[in-house]
Amino acid sequence: MYNSLMKHSKNFHLYIFPFDDKSLTTLKKMKLPNTTIIPLKEFEDEELLKVKPTRSKSEYCWTCANSTILYVLNNFNVDNCTYLDADLFFFSDPSVLVKEMEKNKGSVLLTKHDYHSDKPNKCGTYCVQFMTFKKDINGLNVLKWWRERCLEWCYARHEEGKFGDQKYLDDWPERFKGIYVLKNLGGSVAPWNLRNYEIFEKDKSPYIRNKKNQKEFKIVLYHFHHLKFLLKNYVDLGGYKLSRDIIKKIYNPYLNEMKKVNEDLKKIGIDFDPNATLKKLTLKDYLRYFWRKINNRSNIYKVKELID
């Protein structure tokens, strides 16, 4: 994600919150330009530490998302902050997304999931993936309200209209002032909405064409949801229907970049093993992979098949 920002963005600064000691040590050793590394001991406050024992690792990360944004706005000389999921990859300059919000006088930028019609909307209308908050009264009001709700409840289950940190966003356009919903569909491309589009290339860049209205958008970012490395040099691209053309245009560049990052890490004495914490597959895992296989959603490949 960082490398793709360096390639496409002329002006950015990335504030990184590593949630374990190994990530913190690795990031400090990498000495990446345009970044500030913020250890948990500096970031975590009493309210976060109070709820931390009640959340799983992933739930705690979700709980902290809004707090990371608020921390940056409160502690650094910036007038806005954009939250980025770590599994994003940029194919063009994301500043066009923030400029669209500013042009429309928004204080908070939301991106829709835009699920394909056969995908139930269980996780919310909007996605916590690329969210911009301005340091103004509207932006801070929304951010503080969201943080309070996530401190109260943020779990990986569906309960009374809530799910994690994400379902809280559903009524923001009605609840708050200054909410802007992104119209550039190139800023919210993900495996759950790929079937809404035709993928093609123009000027050596990937584009999407909306199948309903034929509108074209340059892909700004792609969310590599559920991509994981398996043992014996295999990679799982997730349980979505992915054509070979999509894999070539979208997944191939990402995996090639990951290979380059791994090589760069080895040069500074860091041997990264993506399978280091991989547990043995359970019966539930085998049943899930079997279901995906018979539904043409396997998407498990040898890594060497997908890199140049």
pLDDT of residue 277: 57
Q: Which of 73, 74, 59, 72 is nearest to 151 (CA)?
A: 59
Mean pLDDT, the chain, integer: 93
Residue 276 DSSP one-character state: T
Q: What confidence score (pLDDT) does residue 275 get?
A: 64
Q: Please, what are the domains in the chain?
A: 2-225 (3.90.550), 226-308 (no CATH)
Structure tokens, 148:
């309070």
What are the tens digits of pLDDT across the range 40-66? 999 999 999 999 999 999 999 999 999
Q: b/e for 38-66, b at 16 or more Cβ within 10 A?
A: bebeebbeeebeebeeebeeebbbbbbbb
Instruction: State the helix-helix crossing angle for 137-152 and 57-75, rounded to 10 degrees.
Output: 150
- Is residue 91 within 8 Å of residue 205, measured between CB atoms? yes
Write down the pLDDT at residue 193.
94
**Spans of the chain, pLDDT less than 50:** none
Query: Residue 161: left (phi > 0), alpha (psi -120 to 50), or beta?
Result: left
Q: Are 220 and 93 in contact (CB under 8 A)?
A: yes
pLDDT at 276: 58
> Would you state the pLDDT for residue 280?
67
Q: What separation in angstroms does the CA of 304 have from each of 4, 171, 248, 251?
A: 21, 44, 13, 13
Q: How far apart are CA 238 and CA 124, in angstroms?
A: 20
Q: Is the pTM of this model over 0.85?
A: yes
CB 15 within 8 A of CB 68: yes
pLDDT tens digits for range 109-163: 999 999 986 555 788 999 999 999 999 999 999 999 999 999 999 999 999 999 9
Rounded to a whole number, what is the distance in angstroms from the first to the last CA of the chain? 19
Report the 10 Å Cβ neighbour count for 20: 10
Whole-angstrom Cα distance, residue 186 to residue 199? 11
Place of tokens 């290979």: 259
